[in-house]
Amino acid sequence: MGKPTGFMDYKREDAPAFSVKERIKNFNEFHEPLGEEEQRRQGARCMECGVPFCQSGMNIGGMISGCPLNNLIPEWNDLVYRGSYERAYKRLRLTNNFPEFTSRVCPALCEKACTCSANGDAVSVRGNEYAIVERAYREGWAKPEPPKVRTNKTVAVIGSGPSGLAAADQLNRRGHSVTVFERSDRIGGLLMYGIPNMKLEKRFIERRVEIMKSEGVEFKTGVNVGKDITAKELLERFDRVILACGASNPRDIKVDGRDAEGVYFAVDFLKSTTKALLDNGLKEGYISAKGKNVIVIGGGDTGNDCVGTCVRHGAKSVLQLEMMPKLPDQRAENNPWPQWPRVCKTDYGQEEAAEVFGSDPRIYQTTVSRFVKDKDGKLKGAVLMSLKPETDKKTGRLTMKPVEGSEREVSAELVLIAAGFLGSESYVTEAFGAKTDARTNVATENNTHQTSAQRVFTAGDMRNGQSLVVRAIRDGRDCAREVDLSLMGYTNL
C-alpha cells in the first residue's frame, strides 16, 4: 500500500450532510462530497491487512460479511490515495456494473467487515467508491462501450431493477442482443420507485440507462409481461428469458379496520411520491402525509424511507412501530467482528423526525391490534399493543407475545405498512410455468439460476427474496454467466 500507516495517521471523514432544516425542504440528495485532498487521505486509511474481509462476501454467523460483489476494495482504495482515479474506475467496473447506485444506497457491508473497524473506525469505502464513479463521469471515462462483435443470440430480461439491469449489461457486453421489458413507465424497478429521491436521485439512473442504450440494450417500458405480451410470444422471439421481477408482493397485516381509507402499503406510498415528483414537481397525484398523524409499521429501511418522506411532506406527527426489541448500541459478545453488527442504527429519516418532532419516532415491541374508522370509513386512529419476547422451549426461536391490558389508542389519519415482502407476484411465474418454492420465490435447481421452465432463468429478489441492491447486482451477474454458458457452450463473463 502507498501509505502503510495511513489508518493511524488520518481519522475517518465522511461527506458532511446538510442540516435537517435545509434538507427536508426538498427531495434532493443531501451530502456534500469531500474535496480531492481529503478523499485521497481517506484512501490512504486502507491498511495492508493481509486478509481483506471487506471484499469477502462470506456468510459468517448467518449473515453476509463483506462485499457480495467481491469488489477489489484495497486496490482501488490505494489508487484513490495515489490520485489514479481512472485506473481506480477500471478496477471498480470489473466487479460492479453500477457503482453510482451502490455508492449511494448500499449499507456498506464492506465497511462493517473492514479490519480497521475491529478496533476503530472503518475505512470510508462507500465514500471512496462515490468519489471514483462521479470523477469518472466528470472526466468522460464512464462512456458507452458497445461490443465489437455480436453473437446473433437474443435474450429478454423481464424487470429493470438492479438484477435485471446487471444481467442485461453483462450479456450485452458479451455481444448478445438484449431487450429489457418493464411494466412501469420508467426504467429502474426498485431503484426508480422503491428508493426515495433523496437517497438516489433518478437522474443518476437515467444517466446509466442512456449509456446502456448507446451500447445496444433495448428498453421497453409500459409492457406487462404475462398480460400485455404472452410468455409464448417471448419464448418464440428470444433464445433465453430472464425473470427479474423482484419480490414485489407486500406483506399485509390482518386486523380489524384494515379496510379503512388511509391505510396503504409503504411501496405504494413511496412510488406515488417519486412518480409525482418526476411528473409534476409533487403538485398532485400522490398519497400525501401533509398535516396528518402518521404511523409507519415496520422498522427496516423501507420504514425509515417512509418516515423521511412524511417529514418532507409536512406531516403533523410520525410514529414508527417495531415489533422486536431495540438492538444494543454496541456489538454484543456473541456478535464479534467481522460479523455484520447487529446494533441499533439511527438512519436519516429517524434523525430528521427526532429533530422536527422532538423525539425518536420509533416505538419498540409494539404493533397495531386494530384500526379505528370514522362514520365515513376514513382512518382516524389505531389501537396499539405492546409485545414481549418469549423463547420457545422446543425450537429455541424468539416470538413476540401480546402484553395483556397494554392496548391504547392514538390518532392517525395515515398508516403505512412497511412489513416486508412475501415474494414475487404469481402471474408472471404462472405465465411461464415456472415452479415456486414455499416462500413463493421462483424455484431453481442445484443452486443455479435455471427455472423449471425450459430456457427461462431467474435472478435477484425474485429468486432469493427481498434483499439488498448489491446482492441483486451480484445475482444478475451470476445469472448472466449461466445464460451465456447455455447459449455459447462456454463463457468469459
pLDDT digits (tens, 9 = 90+) for 174-200: 999 999 999 999 999 999 999 999 999
Q: What pLDDT is recorded for position 3?
A: 86
Q: Which CATH number fits the domain that encloses residue 134?
A: 1.10.1060.10
Q: Give the CB-side neighbour count of residue 489, counting CA atoms within 13 A.
A: 1
Q: What is the CA radius of gyration of the chain?
A: 23
- Does 395 lie in the same domain as 334? yes
CA distance 276 to 270: 10
Residue 118 is given by DSSP the state G
- Does 426 lie in the same domain as 410? no
Residue 36 domain flag:
yes
Stretch (H or E) spanning 132: helix 125-139
Domain finish residue from 365, 382, 417 = 417
- Does 178 lie in the same domain as 117? no
* Block residue for cell numbers 414537481: 281
Query: pLDDT band at 260, cuts 50/70/90?
Result: very high
Please name the residue ranges forming H helices in 10-47: 20-23, 36-44
Q: What are phi and psi of 456, to 5 degrees?
A: -120, 125
Minimal CA–CA distance to 43: which of 73, 65, 70?
A: 73
Q: Are 162 and 469 in contact (CB under 8 A)?
A: yes
Query: Average pLDDT, whole number, for the chain?
Result: 96
Query: pLDDT band at 255, cuts 50/70/90?
Result: very high
Query: What does the pLDDT look like over 160-180, one tens digit per residue?
Result: 999 999 999 999 999 999 999
256-280: average pLDDT: 98
Residue-number span of the structural domain to which 198 is assigned = 154-248+422-488
5-24: average pLDDT: 96
Domain finish residue from 417, 439, 471 = 417
User: What is the CA angle 125-130-136, rounded to 5?
Assistant: 130
336-347: average pLDDT: 95
- Does 389 lie in the same domain as 317? yes
Residue 333 domain flag:
yes
93-120: average pLDDT: 96
SS3 breakdown of the chain: % helix, strand, coil, rounded to 5?
Answer: 35, 20, 45
CA distance 130 to 100: 7
- Does 383 lie in the same domain as 301? yes
- Does 289 lie in the same domain as 271? yes
- Does 313 lie in the same domain as 283? yes
113-134: average pLDDT: 96
- Does 401 lie in the same domain as 305? yes
Q: What are phi and psi of 211, to 5 degrees?
A: -65, -45
Query: What does the pLDDT look like over 21-72, one tens digit per residue?
Result: 999 999 999 999 999 999 999 999 998 788 899 999 999 988 999 999 999 9
Q: What pLDDT is recorded for position 48?
A: 79
Query: What does the pLDDT look like over 443-466, one tens digit per residue?
Result: 998 889 999 999 999 999 999 999
Residue 166 domain flag:
yes
105-122: average pLDDT: 95
CA distance 250 to 365: 21
Q: How many CB atoms lie within 10 A of CB 206?
A: 15
CA distances from 50 to 1, 43, 146, 478 (A): 11, 17, 37, 27
Number of domains in the chain: 3
Q: Look up residue 323 and give its three cell numbers.
A: 415489533
CA distances from 459 to 174, 241, 295 (A): 18, 11, 33
Amino acid at 15: A
- Does 164 lie in the same domain as 110? no
Query: pLDDT band at 438, cuts 50/70/90?
Result: confident
Minimal CA–CA distance to 265: which of 379, 421, 384, 369?
A: 421
Query: pLDDT band at 396, cuts 50/70/90?
Result: confident
Handedness of CA 278, 282, 286, 291 (dihedral sign): positive
* Block residue for cell numbers 406527527: 317
Q: Look up residue 262 and give its three cell numbers.
A: 388511509
Domain finish residue from 395, 417, 439 = 417
Q: What pLDDT is recorded for position 1?
A: 66
CA distance 206 to 362: 34
Q: What pLDDT is recorded for position 439?
A: 84
Q: Look up residue 35 and give its three cell numbers.
A: 474535496
- Does 114 lie in the same domain as 31? yes
CA distance 51 to 483: 33
Q: What pLDDT is recorded for position 2?
A: 67
Q: What pLDDT is recorded for position 387?
A: 97
Q: Which CATH number fits the domain that encloses residue 162?
A: 3.50.50.60
114-141: average pLDDT: 96
Q: What is the pTM of this model?
A: 0.96
Minimal CA–CA distance to 218: which of 177, 259, 251?
A: 177
First vs last C-alpha separation in the chain: 29
> Is the bond preceding 107 in cis, omega lying within 30 degrees of 0?
no
- Does 375 lie in the same domain as 482? no
Handedness of CA 203, 204, 209, 210 (dihedral sign): positive
CA distance 489 to 218: 25
- Does 398 lie in the same domain as 267? yes
